[in-house]
Amino acid sequence: MTQLEFTSLVMPFKDKVYRLAKRLLVSTEEAEDATQEILMRLWNNKAKISSYNNVEAFAMTMTKNFCLDRLKSKQAQNLKIVHSNYQDHSVSLQKQLEANDSVNWVSKIIETLPEQQKLILQLRDIEEYDFDEIAEIVEMNPTAIRVALSRARKTIREQLINTHSYGVK
Q: How confident is the model at residue 44 (pLDDT cuts 50, 70, 90)?
A: confident
- Domains of the chain, start order: 1-82 (1.10.1740.10), 90-169 (1.10.10.10)
**C-alpha 155: how far from its chain's center?**
18
The percentage of residues in the chain with a pLDDT greater than 90, rounded to a whole number, is 36
Average pLDDT over residues 23-41: 89
Most confident of 74-78, 98-102, 131-135: 131-135
CA dihedral 122, 33, 100, 16 (to 10 degrees): -40
Q: Give the pLDDT of residue 63.
A: 92
Between residues 92 and 150, which one has the greater pLDDT?
Answer: 150
Task: For 87-102, give one letter per residue: b (16+ CB within 10 A) or e.
Answer: eeeeeeeeeeeeeeee
Measured CA to CA in angstroms, residue 140 lies from 16, 23, 64 at distances of: 20, 20, 14
**Residue 43 pLDDT grade (very low, low, confident, very high; cuts 50, 70, 90):** confident
Q: Rounded mean pLDDT of 59-75?
A: 83
87-111 average pLDDT score: 75
Nearest to 148 by CA among 112, 105, 126, 115: 115
Residue type for 64, please? K
pLDDT digits (tens, 9 = 90+) for 9-21: 778 888 999 999 9
Q: Are 138 and 116 in contact (CB under 8 A)?
A: yes
Q: Can you give the pTM of this predicted structure?
A: 0.55
The conformation of residue 127, written as its DSSP 8-state character, comes to: S
Helices 131-138 and 142-164 cross at an angle (nearest 10°) of: 100
Lowest mean pLDDT among 27-31, 51-55, 151-155: 51-55
What pLDDT score was predicted for residue 85? 41
| Mean of all residue pLDDT scores within the chain | 82
CA distance 84 to 125: 15
Angstrom distance (rounded) from CA 131 to CA 61: 14
Nearest to 63 by CA among 2, 127, 146, 114: 127
At 77 the pLDDT is 53
